[in-house]
Amino acid sequence: MEKTCGCKSKFNAVFMKNLEWYMHKVYGDFKRELFNKLGKDVLEIGAGTGSNLPYYKPWTNLTAVEPSKDMLNFFLKKAHNYPLNIYIREGYAENLPFEDETFDSVVSTLVLCSVKSPYKVLNEIKRVLKPGGTFIFIEHVKSPKDDFVAKTQDILHKSWKWLFEGCDLKRETGKLISSIFPKSKIKLVKFNSPFIPVNYHIIGYAEKD
Ligand SMILES: C[S@@+](CC[C@H](N)C(=O)[O-])C[C@H]1O[C@@H](n2cnc3c(N)ncnc32)[C@H](O)[C@@H]1O
């Protein structure tokens, strides 16, 4: 698999960093509720610039997997501000370098849209979770209706994917999660944000049998 690199990678890291204040505003309440469900040993895939760091419980053992050095540079700059035990692994969530049943919980926010194979990633998440472990997620998804959002997704799909390094506006991630994790609670939420093509999100959690 190709490594993320070059000016698009830098652009995306700076873009995500500058969007953090907005993500706290939009997702903050959802995240506070979801992150409460996490256990002590947590894996975050696609941890990006570290926008989720403020939501972890103190003294969580947090392992962050992220392929982009540019994202990780921002992550590292702020990681020491939080009372967490943080381990960072540069890499892709399709091949997690951990043994089966290692983590109490796994976190994915705005990542399953961008990975090459969400199917492989979800199976990896399931593999590394302990039995009874929790997977929490917030992901933007394909519009479930033939509405204005769907039209913008159709129009922007290709250029969005190019600019945002593989980010797919039309993934039906909720269906995939519930097929791999039969014990899942998924809420479809429509935001009224200026980022119209990503206004539909799934927010929820799943438990490994
Ligand atoms: C839109 S950003 C979200 C970052 C962070 N999760 C957040 O909510 O702020 C998507 C992240 O997924 C990462 N990513 C892309 N492909 C990945 C893969 N195959 N495995 C793990 N992370 C990946 C990107 O490098 C980027 O940091």
Q: What is the pLDDT of residue 6?
A: 79
Question: Of all protein residues, whose CA lies closest to atom 25 belonging to ligand 1?
Answer: 68
Convert the pLDDT of each residue in 190-208 to its tens digit: 999 999 999 999 999 999 9
Pocket residue to mutate for ligand 1, from 34, 35, 111, most atoms within 8 A of Cβ? 111
Convert the pLDDT of each residue in 82-101 to its tens digit: 999 999 999 999 999 999 99
Ligand 1 atom at minimal distance to the Cα of residue 46: 22
Q: What is the pLDDT of residue 4?
A: 47
Domain that holds residue 63: 6-207
Confidence of residue 2 (pLDDT cuts 50, 70, 90): very low
Rounded to the nearest whole angstrom, what is the distance from the C-alpha of residue 110 to the centroid of ligand 1?
7
pLDDT at residue 12 above 70?
Answer: yes
Q: What is the DSSP string of the chain?
A: -PPP-HHHHHHHHHHHHHTHHHHHHHHHHHHHHHHTT--SEEEEES-TT-TTGGGSPTT-EEEEEES-HHHHHHHHHHHTTSS-EEEEEES-TTS--S-TT-EEEEEEES-TTTSS-HHHHHHHHHHHEEEEEEEEEEEE---SSSSHHHHHHHHHHHHHHHHTTT--TT--HHHHHHHH-SSEEEEEEE---S-GGG-EEEEEEEE--
Is the residue at 1 inside a domain? Answer: no
pLDDT at residue 21 above 60?
Answer: yes
Rounded to the nearest whole angstrom, what is the distance from the C-alpha of residue 65 to the centroid of ligand 1?
9
* Number of structural domains found in the chain: 1
CATH number, domain at 202? 3.40.50.150
